[in-house]
Chains A and B, each alone.
Chain A
Amino acid sequence: IAGITQAPTSQILAAGRRMTLRCTQDMRHNAMYWYRQDLGLGLRLIHYSNTAGTTGKGEVPDGYSVSRANTDDFPLTLASAVPSQTSVYFCASSEQGSPNNEQFFGPGTRLTVL
């Protein structure tokens, strides 16, 4: 059982380049999330999806887009990366609507934008 996987593990990217961070879960959870973690700021929600085919904006959505074509995958795209998007990105999933809406996290992607 893999749980949640993220790829790549880390990436160095030139400013202005396009980048997609991948996230896949095998728990058949209906809800998925993307966060960024910055020193001193904790984790902040970028985008979320409560079910396949729907997405929503979180606390810091600007500069990012997501899609949810199926239950398992939730890619995060930076259309034109900027240095302020240097961060550690975590994907998570949960079974929203269940009595136990516990959130599980992937291992993270460390992104550096130069």
Chain B
Amino acid sequence: GIQVEQSPPDLILQEGANSTLRCNFSDSVNNLQWFHQNPWGQLINLFYIPSGTKQNGRLSATTVATERYSLLYISSSQTTDSGVYFCAVVNTGNQFYFGTGTSLTVIP
């Protein structure tokens, strides 16, 4: 299967700070998604981004497929941003592979 590595594994931010989360993957992929798992366990779609850059409010993501990585940017972080951020990639057989996540804590 495809290996997906996320960094950093843990991150603590002061409210208002910016951060960059990284996702590296070991093989060519058909698509890539970023998810946020909130403290209640819900998995929420953030971006579907096989390539290029997308923005949604304070969040943006960039995937460079040829170099096998994706970045998630969080600006002006809020306490509600706390949780675990997962990157997932899809191979040509439609199998999804998840990274182990970045656990983010935003403190007021």
Q: Are B98 and A101 in contact (CB under 8 A)?
A: no
Query: In whole angstroms, what is the CA distance A58 to B101 when docked?
Result: 19
B95 near A58 with CB under 8 A, answer yes
Partner of B43 from the list A58, A100, A101, A105 (CB cut-off 8 Å) is: A105
- A102, B48: Cβ atoms closer than 8 Å: yes
Q: Are B31 and A101 in contact (CB under 8 A)?
A: yes
Tell me whether B41 and A108 are in contact (CB under 8 A). Answer: yes
- Tell me if A107 and B94 are in contact (CB < 8 A): no
Contact indicator A101/B94 (Cβ below 8 Å): yes
Among the listed B30, B33, B99, which residue makes an inter-chain contact with A103, where contact means beta carbons less than 8 Å apart? Answer: B33
| B43 in contact with A90 (CB, 8 Å) | yes
- Given the complex, which residues of B lie within 8 Å of A90, measured CB to CB? 43
Task: Using C-beta atoms within 8 Å of the partner chain, give the interface range for chain A.
Answer: 20 to 34
The interface size bin for chain B is 20 to 34
Closest to B31 in A: A101
**A residues near B42, Cβ cutoff 8 Å:** 105, 107-108
Q: If A45-B95, A48-B95 touch, does A103 touch B100 (CB 8 Å cutoff)?
A: no
The residues of B that contact A105 with a CB separation of less than 8 Å are 35, 42-43
Q: Does B88 contact A (CB under 8 A)?
A: yes
A2 interface residue per 8 A CB criterion: no
Closest to A96 in B: B94
Contact B94 A42 (CB under 8 A): no
Q: Counting CB contacts under 8 A, is B97 at the interface?
A: yes
Q: A48-B95, A100-B48 are in contact. List 15 more A-B contacts (CB 8 A).
A: A35-B98, A41-B100, A43-B88, A44-B98, A45-B95, A45-B97, A59-B1, A88-B41, A92-B96, A101-B48, A101-B94, A103-B45, A104-B45, A105-B42, A108-B42
Question: Footprint of B on A, CB under 8 Å?
Answer: 31, 33, 35, 40-45, 48, 50, 56, 58-59, 88, 90, 92, 96, 100-105, 107-108
